Amino acid sequence: MTAVEPVLPPARAPKTPWLRDRSPTTRLVLRWLFIALATGIAFHTSIASILDTALRGGLNGYVLMV
């Protein structure tokens, strides 16, 4: 009598990361959005100070435009 080997379900292919399925343009836009968001979080007090001075007519407005 021969032993019967159990039938296993087919192995799943490894799932690719969700970002790799996107187009290069989408990945580029997401990358720059992340950079802009991280910069805004890191420098929010400096950006607020520059904008406040620029709106009041200080020299930072000139520096901001240059």
* Averaged pLDDT, 34-56: 91
**Higher per-residue pLDDT: 59 or 31:** 31
Q: So what's the pLDDT on residue 10?
A: 80
Task: List helix spans (H) across 15-65.
Answer: 24-42, 44-55, 59-65
pLDDT digits (tens, 9 = 90+) for 1-41: 577 888 888 878 778 787 788 899 999 999 999 999 999 99
Q: So what's the pLDDT on residue 4?
A: 80
Residues 51, 57 contacting (CB under 8 angstroms)? no
Per domain, the residue ranges of the chain are 24-65
- Separation between Cα atoms, residue 64 and residue 50, nearest integer Å: 8
**pLDDT above 80: residue 65:** no
